[in-house]
Amino acid sequence: MAISDIEIQSVKQRFGIVGNAPLLNHAVKVAIQVAPTEMSVLITGESGSGKESFSKIIHSLSTRKHGQFIAINCGSIPEGTIDSELFGHEKGSFTGAHEARKGYFEVTNGGTIFLDEIGEMPLATQARLLRVLENGEFIKVGSSKVLKTDVRVVAATNVDLMRKVEDGKFREDLYYRLNSVPIFVPPLRERGKDIELLFRKFASDFAERYKVKPITLTDDGRELLMKYRFPGNVRQLKNLVDQMSVLSAEKKEINAEELQNYLPRQTSLPALYNDGSTTADISEREILYKVLFEMRKDVNDLKRIVLENATNPGHAAQIVKDNPQLFAEVQQERKSPGEPVVLNINTASDVTAAADDVQDISHEAEEDSLSIQKKEKELIMRALRKNNNKRKSAARDLGISERTLYRKIKEYELED
């Protein structure tokens, strides 16, 4: 089915999608094409990039448009209650189940369910969802009666589901069942001049709401805005414009210096390879953990060489010399910057010394890790205090899912 540019622009206008980036237009085009079908759709993209808008396009242009549309954030529903929320429960099926309840799949019969953050769904619930997708059948919690439903599922994720499949945290059969038609929503930083268009749109909207003159940018302010990476994507830009519209009431033209005061500080991190399949941002903590895991692997390799070759120093030295990079890196850690590394390992005792060096470095890195864990705990405590222990609001401030926050609270014993 050929989709014209006029049709794409019409759909974007109808659903409030601003921008003309090629990747964005392609995503809208695919949504229009797949809408009349009954195929499952998996929408991928970073948090805040606007994935829910595409689920609404699919529902509104489908034969189910007169049926109910429900958007569910799988990451915000506690693991113990998600089955009840989705599939319902019978009276007395668990503590607090004082009466029977219909789940979303029963209520939305004939309509569309949008499952956001599908990667956060527990494995047991994934099995139930797969049965719905394959047979249209489900069983309420506490019941043995098989019920039927006719629901179209549109899922979305901001994580690499295939990596979760490889880690055993997401069912492979469910992944391929959901991913009948993939739609990728590009991050804001890859949409070029769309950033400026969205800035003007939000400035106009907030000016109308607050009955003030819309804010504008100077040339250097515009240049800074276009260079910013916006890890929070469209949602972050909207919040930024909202904040400036209120706090810059006296001066409506914002230059680069003033804009910099509103932009969160960006940390320069090592550039890691990204094949485009994952959209999740890499945090400083994740990089440190990766280094730690690799360092521990190096230590284990060294120990294995020592244990296997302690009685044969000549053989041990040969193995070391066949793998010089690891040992050179270890020795470099113990030298001054710029001082040349001399690989001098001829006996098993030399290998053991190198292993001890790596172990010392690993311990130092682990101490840094503990420091980061302490900072993370402090941030969670501050967010909870700020939001009067309301976990949903605290999770939003921290930029994590409510389930992740719940796990962290238990991990750091903050429940009291």
Domain C-terminal end among 134, 158, 186: 186
CATH value at residue 242: 1.10.8.60
- Please answer whether residues 349 and 316 qualify as being in contact, where contact means their C-beta atoms are separated by less than 8 angstroms: no
User: 3-state class of 398 per DSSP?
Assistant: helix
Cα 109 from Cα 151, distance rounded (Å): 5
Rounded distance between C-alpha atoms, residue 338 and residue 327, angstroms: 17
Is 269 within the bounds of a domain? no
We report the CATH number of the domain holding residue 134 as: 3.40.50.300
How many domains in the chain? 3
Confidence at residue 354, expressed as pLDDT on a 0 to 100 scale: 56
- Which residue range forms the structural domain that includes residue 359? 284-411
Residue 352 lies in a domain: yes
* Residue type at 51 in one-letter notation: K
Which pLDDT score, from 0 to 100, does residue 280 have? 39
Are 169 and 194 in a shared domain? no
Summarize the confidence of residues 376-383 as an average pLDDT.
83
316 inside domain: yes
Which of 186, 205, 231 lies at the terminal end of a domain, its last residue?
186
Does 92 share its domain with 134?
Answer: yes
> What pLDDT does residue 315 have?
53
Q: Specify the pLDDT at position 98.
A: 87
Residue 276 lies in a domain: no
User: What CA–CA distance (Å, rounded) separates 50 from 278?
Assistant: 17
Does 72 fall in a domain?
yes
Q: Are residues 316 and 406 in the same domain?
A: yes
User: Are 51 and 176 part of one and the same domain?
Assistant: yes
Give exposure, 136-151, as e/b (b: 16+ Cβ within 10 Å).
eebbbbbeeeebebeb
- Per DSSP, the residues of 256-268 read HHHHHHHSPPPPP
Whether residue 151 is found in the same domain as residue 21: yes
Residue located via tokens 């609001």: 393
- The DSSP output letter for 98 is -
Which pLDDT does position 120 carry in this prediction?
A: 95
User: Does the pLDDT at position 176 exceed 60?
Assistant: yes
Confidence of residue 303 (pLDDT cuts 50, 70, 90): low
Q: Is residue 208 part of a domain?
A: yes
Report the chain's mean pLDDT, rounded to a whole number.
81
For residue 75, is it within any domain?
yes
Same domain, 81 and 171: yes
3-state secondary structure of 155: strand
Q: State which of 166, 186, 206 marks the end of a domain.
A: 186
